[in-house]
Chain A
Amino acid sequence: KQEVTQIPAALSVPEGENLVLNCSFTDSAIYNLQWFRQDPGKGLTSLLLIQSSQREQTSGRLNASLDKSSGRSTLYIAASQPGDSATYLCAVTSGGSYIPTFGRGTSLIVHP
């Protein structure tokens, strides 16, 4: 059974720092990995989807990488801003299952 872990559970940084959020998974036979952002009291917003055949995806200040062999993905946030404060979740869809497995998220606070 796929297990997805996100460490740290919470992170507080000053504005302007470059950040790395981690997502690890136990079964490397995956279809894809998706990163989401969730603002307090809101639904999940899709940020990036990395297919199994890809190594990374970029959107603006966000860059997500995937290393299947080590069972890891990282979400890099460049030049963080207070507006980046949110919870970031990753979800992994394993081969043989069409349903994603979610991590519990990293709660990020970027203070001015």
Chain B
Amino acid sequence: NAGVTQTPKFRVLKTGQSMTLLCAQDMNHEYMYWYRQDPGMGLRLIHYSVGEGTTAKGEVPDGYNVSRLKKQNFLLGLESAAPSQTSVYFCASSWMGGPYNEQFFGPGTRLTVL
């Protein structure tokens, strides 16, 4: 039982390049989340999904797209990376929402955009 895994762990991009971050969970959770964590800003929600085939915007969605084609995977895409997207990205999952939303986090992806 691997829990929540994230690929890659580190990445360096040049401005304008694109990339996709992969999050996978093996707990059969319905809800999945993408956060970014920056010094002094705390955790900020980018996008989330309440089930396979669904996505919704969080607090800071601009510049990111997501897809949830399979229940166990949640992909975060950067179409044209900007230096402001330098951050640590965390994926999380929970069984459901509301009272049943105990979250489990992945180890993070450290992204640097030059």
Q: How many residues on chain B are close to A (CB under 8 Å)?
A: 23
CB contacts under 8 Å to B, within A58-112, are 89, 91, 93, 95, 98-100, 102-105
Indicate whether B31 reaches chain A with its CB closer than 8 angstroms. Answer: yes
B residues in contact with A36, CB < 8 Å: 105
Q: Is the CB of A100 within 8 A of B105?
A: no
Which of B62-70, B71-79, B96-104 contacts the other chain?
A: B96-104
Bound form: Cα–Cα A105–B106 in Å? 18
Indicate whether A10 reaches chain B with its CB closer than 8 angstroms. Answer: no
* Contact of A44 with B105 at beta-carbon distance under 8 Å, contacts A89-B43, A102-B42, A105-B42 already known: yes
Instruction: Give the A-B pair count, Cβ closer than 8 A.
Output: 56
Q: Which of B31, B43, B97, B104 has the most CB of A within 10 A?
A: B43
Bound form: Cα–Cα A48–B48 in Å? 23
Bound form: Cα–Cα A49–B33 in Å? 18
Q: Is the CB of B102 within 8 A of A98?
A: no
A residues in contact with B106, CB < 8 Å: 43
Q: How many residues on chain A are close to B (CB under 8 Å)?
A: 24
Indicate whether B50 reaches chain A with its CB closer than 8 angstroms. Answer: yes
* Contact of A98 with B101 at beta-carbon distance under 8 Å, contacts A42-B107, A43-B90 already known: yes
Residue of B nearest to A51 (CB): B99
Q: Do most interface residues of chain A lie in helix, strand or loop, or is the interface mixed?
A: strand
Q: Is the CB of A52 within 8 A of B99?
A: yes
Indicate whether B22 reaches chain A with its CB closer than 8 angstroms. Answer: no
Indicate whether B58 reaches chain A with its CB closer than 8 angstroms. Answer: yes
Residue of A nearest to B43 (CB): A102
Residues 85-114 of B, flagged 1 when their CB comes within 8 A of A and 0 if not, give: 000001010001111011111111000000
- Closest-CB distance, B90 to chain A (whole angstroms): 6
Q: Is the CB of A43 within 8 A of B102?
A: no
Bound form: Cα–Cα A52–B101 in Å? 13
5 residue pairs from A and B, CB less than 8 Å apart: A43-B105, A43-B106, A49-B102, A91-B103, A100-B101
